[in-house]
Structure 1
Amino acid sequence: MAAKTRRAMIEQRVLAEGEIDFATLAEEFKVSEMTIRRDVEALEASGLVRRVVGGAILSSGKAAEPSFETRAAEAAEGKMHIAEAAVELLRPRETVILDSGSSVLAVAKAIKGRGLGLTVVTPSILVAVELADEPDTVVLLAGGRVRPGELSLIGSETEEIFTRYNCDTYVMGIAGVDPARGVSEYHREEGSVKRAAVKAADRVIVVADETKLGRVQLVSVSPLSSVTAIVTDGPADHPTLVGARSLGVEVVCVPGPHSSALEQGATA
């Protein structure tokens, strides 16, 4: 495994669990503890973690956003399953807002070759490039300021774009989903763009892997009651999904790392 990939996975682990220890990671990755120490030193230099005896702890709490590269590498196969299920909810000839982020980029890839004939409005340069040559598809790229690393567009110009269109569906990627606190995001301006997109669409489909369930991040985007459907690889009985159903949200569960045979493909 390349060092860059391993470090991305370690970053995701510490963000999910809050702490890591060198010995466990060395055993899991089949490398020496010294190699893990060097990986963690790199993460410490970025300000993400603080080293302690035998390991490291998260230094910046829930406000720390993993890099796009980390999110794209983590559970890539699971995200494709989520994406394929989300595309099944789209209708031919719809006008669809495709969000920025790694999960929705997977949705864009799953759209290719389906012949849906969509009109796509997106604040993501990566999504726009992915679908630029898709036959019978119109891609409208929102204006605004480019956010480095994410290659998303943010700011008042981006938000204003969504007031111009009446869209059928918004496919949203999100950092946290909670029944009481709704959907939330790390970045203030990303959150503002998402709020504008919610207002522009008749229905909202959230794509979220299991790690996002039960999380509350810095910026509130919308209450869970404003979401039409959640597509996830989390277990069907996860408290967040139970709470979502009670609010009238459709839940689509695809096979995930902790899915049982009964949960695979479950919908409600």
Structure 2
Amino acid sequence: MTRPLTRQQRLVDLAEYVLEAGAVPMRELAQQFEISRMTVYRDVAELERAGVVYLRQGEAVAGASSFTETTNAFRSTLNRDAKIAACRAVCRLLRPGSTVMLDDSSTALLLVPMLADLAPMTVITHSQAAANAVAAHPQLRLFVTGGRYRASFESFLGEATLSALRQVSADVCIMSVTAISQGIAYHPMEENVAVKRTMMRQADRSILIVDGSKFGHRATHRVADLSEFDHVVISGQVPPGEAAVLNEPNVMVIQG
């Protein structure tokens, strides 16, 4: 049985759900996130105060202006200390002069300033947010894939992005996922999964970086089995029901 989302995680997912649809009836949101009518109204009220989602005639409506920074801010508040600890552990696996692929996760974004300490280093990314962060460190070389820009993720996705990734290679790719259950990593968006899997194919090594709160949840699309990653870097507590798979010999776990 999967654990319920924390409220902060649910707010992020709810905001992105509304962004994708444009407008969603409150009844549908309550059903989608398996919460009460009272709870969904409280959630939308909080997102409305943040300027993310607005309540209009029984529907949650995406804000007219982009709220990319707001949703990214929500993500970055989730277990920040644990994510930073995991990033530090990842840095111990990297060597100066390497070429690194980063996905568009908030965890990978926290890694960028630490990569600057390992320069010279080349960073390949489809994330506009990560690209902006890398550009602030001139000692890092930057390659941005381009493609179709998706404001909700502040990143490039689609076939053009995949094509660009297939033309390059890296020493290591580093990514996070939305959920992990019984040794399988998941993400809710099919386009993001395609990028992550292409990155894994184009890199000599793959590192999954997650905090313990991701365990015990599922999302729509499978990214990979944990055993497909060369290292799984974890910070924070993993639920007892999920910990057994981490002890399997084909899963290389590093505690952040």
Q: What's the TM-score once normalised by structure 1's chain length?
A: 0.69
* Pick aligned residue for 1:201 from 200, 203, 215: 203
1:234 and 1:117 map into 2 onto residues whose CA distance is 30
Rate the CA distance shift 1:116–1:238 in 2: closer, same or farther, 3 A. Answer: farther
Matched-pair identity in %? 25
1:144 maps to 2:141:
no
Deviation at 1:46, TM superposition (A): 4.9
1:243 and 1:146 map into 2 onto residues whose CA distance is 36
Structure 2: segments with no counterpart, 5+ residues:
1-5, 14-32, 55-69
Deviation at 1:175, TM superposition (A): 0.7
2:191 partner amino acid: E
2:201 and 2:236 map into 1 onto residues whose CA distance is 27
Rate the CA distance shift 1:246–1:117 in 2: closer, same or farther, 3 A. Answer: same
2:187 partner amino acid: E
1:92 and 1:179 map into 2 onto residues whose CA distance is 35
Q: CA RMSD in A?
A: 3.3
1:12 partner amino acid: Q
1:251 maps to 2:248:
no
Alignment match, 1:263: none
Rate the CA distance shift 1:133–1:72 in 2: closer, same or farther, 3 A. Answer: closer
Deviation at 1:39, TM superposition (A): 5.2
Deviation at 1:226, TM superposition (A): 0.9
Mapping of residues 192-231 of structure 1, within 5 Å = 192-231=194-233
1:101 partner amino acid: S
- 8 Å CA contact 1:198–1:204 kept in 2: the answer is yes
1:136 partner amino acid: Q
Mapping of residues 1-268 of structure 1, within 5 Å = 10-12=7-9, 19=35, 40-42=44-46, 46=53, 67-112=71-116, 114-180=117-183, 182-235=184-237, 238-254=240-256
- 8 Å CA contact 2:148–2:158 kept in 1: the answer is yes
Look up the SS of the partner of 1:116 in the other structure: coil
- 8 Å CA contact 2:97–2:122 kept in 1: the answer is yes
Rate the CA distance shift 1:241–1:117 in 2: closer, same or farther, 3 A. Answer: farther
Asked which structure has the greater RCO (Cα within 8 Å, sep 6+), the reply is 2
Deviation at 1:134, TM superposition (A): 2.2
2:43 and 2:217 map into 1 onto residues whose CA distance is 26
Rate the CA distance shift 1:217–1:169 in 2: closer, same or farther, 3 A. Answer: same
1:183 and 1:236 map into 2 onto residues whose CA distance is 14
1:196 partner amino acid: T
Rate the CA distance shift 1:40–1:137 in 2: closer, same or farther, 3 A. Answer: closer
Look up the SS of the partner of 2:180 in the other structure: strand
Q: How many residues align?
A: 216
Structure 1: segments with no counterpart, 5+ residues:
1-8, 26-35, 48-65, 255-268
Look up the SS of the partner of 1:170 in the other structure: strand
Rate the CA distance shift 1:214–1:10 in 2: closer, same or farther, 3 A. Answer: closer
- 8 Å CA contact 1:84–1:110 kept in 2: the answer is yes
- The 4+ residue runs of structure 1 with deviation greater than 6 A are none
Alignment match, 2:67: none
- 8 Å CA contact 2:227–2:252 kept in 1: the answer is no
